[in-house]
């Protein structure tokens, strides 16, 4: 039975979206039949900025499309099987990629690399060929490597625009805000946390000192909170006992970031969110992709913000992040060079 709490959550989700006139926006989900793709498709169907939803997967996408198409919002939904990728991508403004295998107990994001790297490379090649000007939102892990893979594929194809390619790190923000709210007995909607760095383990750097609720967190409570934010995915993988990873919360986070980008594409000013993009912030250390607060606009990335003032503890976290992040980025680039 559909609970009242779930109904309220959906109503709240709908309220996040503007009801004002919107431009035509076609959004494609590549991997729509999977654990993230299905709920993500549902949430995108609720977004009035989406006028056409194109769902693709190697199996199951037409069925998901048929199901989602019955929802009474004003967007058209089409599903495409494995051999119709080009048709799924034609005329798309935004492409979201949750495709790939999920994590299982004992697996790290790096363990996913060999399988997911090939999937993301091939999908990126199709996007570069069919819809080279689309904004590409990468969910497939390991994001620290898959975003450089997509970028390198676009560069090889001669259509690379760094303002158009995003790694979705919003789940780190969602977890940080929820977990900090729990520790401080706050309402999560009043807690705003910037999370920088990358999107796995020690590369995730929450800047708790920049939010009022986080300033006073110290000692063991701080250490446990940081660890939970960085390794929250493990919590879900273990709880699901091998049946999957963080699919529902990731779908929510993916829909939220897609919604932010669509609002900016539609002309809303001041839309700022952390995301993993081509960045100059640590380029002098050989790290040319980094997640930080980014202002979004009609062209994608409009402005990359510096980190601002950080605490001594956050500086240590950053120092631990950078070497791992550099290796992850180089691994992605090397994969495309050798392909």
Catalytically active residues, by annotation: 199
Token duo for residue 311: 């605490």
If we measure between CA atoms, which residue out of 153, 58, 52 comes closest to residue 98?
58
Q: Residue 167, annotated ligand binder?
A: no
Q: Cα separation of 294 and 304, whole Å?
A: 5
Q: Please, which residues have CB within 8 angstroms of residue 121's CB and are 6 or more apart in sequence? A: 149, 153, 335, 336, 339
139 annotated to a ligand binding site: yes
Beta strand pairing call for 272-282 and 287-297: antiparallel
127 in a known ligand binding site:
no
Q: Going by DSSP bridges, is the β-strand pair 94-97/26-30 parallel, antiparallel, or unpaired?
A: parallel
Q: Is 304 annotated as ligand-binding?
A: no
242 is in an annotated binding site: no
Annotated binding residue at 100?
A: no
Evaluate the CA torsion angle 59, 167, 334, 88 in order and state its sign.
positive
Is 161 flagged in the annotation as binding?
no
Confirm or deny that 63 is annotated as ligand binding: no
99 neighbors 34 (Cβ within 8 angstroms): yes
8 A C-beta contact, residue 102 and residue 35: yes
201 is in an annotated binding site: no
Q: Is position 4 annotated in a ligand binding site?
A: no
* 250 annotated to a ligand binding site: yes
Sign of CA dihedral 251, 289, 119, 230: negative
Q: What SS3 string covers 108-169?
A: CCHHHHHHHHHHHHHHHHHHHHHCCCCEEEECCCCHHHHHHHHHHHHHHCCCCCHHHEEECC
Query: Is 1 marked within a binding site?
Result: no
Binding positions for NAD(+): 31-37, 57, 116, 139-141, 250
Binding positions for substrate: 103, 109, 141, 175
Binding positions: 31-37, 57, 103, 109, 116, 139-141, 175, 250
């Amino acid at each position: 039975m559909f609970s009242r709490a779930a109904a309220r959550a959906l109503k709240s989700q709908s309220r996040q979206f503007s009801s004002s006139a919107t431009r035509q926006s076609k959004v494609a989900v590549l991997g729509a039949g999977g654990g993230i793709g299905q709920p993500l498709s549902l949430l995108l169907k609720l977004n009035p900025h989406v006028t056409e939803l194109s769902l693709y997967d190697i199996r199951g996408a037409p069925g998901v499309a048929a199901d989602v198409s019955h929802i009474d919002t004003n967007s058209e939904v089409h599903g495409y099987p494995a051999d119709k990728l080009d048709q799924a991508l034609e005329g798309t403004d935004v492409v979201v990629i949750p495709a790939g295998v999920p994590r299982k107990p004992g697996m790290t994001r790096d363990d996913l690399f060999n399988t997911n790297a090939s999937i993301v490379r091939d999908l990126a090649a199709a996007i570069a060929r069919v819809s080279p000007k689309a904004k590409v939102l990468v969910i497939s892990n390991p994001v620290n490597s898959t975003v450089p893979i997509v970028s390198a594929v676009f560069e090889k194809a001669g259509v690379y625009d760094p303002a158009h390619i995003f790694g979705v790190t919003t789940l780190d923000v969602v977890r940080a805000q929820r977990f900090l709210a729990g520790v401080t007995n706050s309402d999560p909607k009043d807690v705003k946390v910037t999370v920088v760095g990358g999107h796995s383990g020690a590369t995730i750097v929450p800047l708790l000192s920049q939010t009022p609720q986080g300033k006073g967190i110290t000692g063991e409570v701080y250490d446990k909170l940081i660890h939970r934010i960085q390794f929250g995915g493990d919590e879900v993988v273990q709880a699901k006992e091998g049946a999957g990873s963080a699919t529902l919360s990731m779908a929510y986070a993916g829909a939220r970031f897609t919604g932010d980008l669509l609002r900016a594409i539609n002309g809303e000013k001041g839309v700022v969110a952390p995301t993993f993009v081509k960045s100059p912030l640590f380029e002098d250390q050989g790290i040319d992709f980094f997640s930080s607060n980014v202002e979004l606009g009609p062209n994608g990335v409009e402005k990359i913000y510096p980190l601002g003032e950080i605490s001594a503890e956050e500086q240590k976290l950053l120092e631990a992040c950078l070497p791992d992040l550099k290796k992850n980025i180089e691994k992605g680039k090397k994969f495309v060079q050798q392909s």
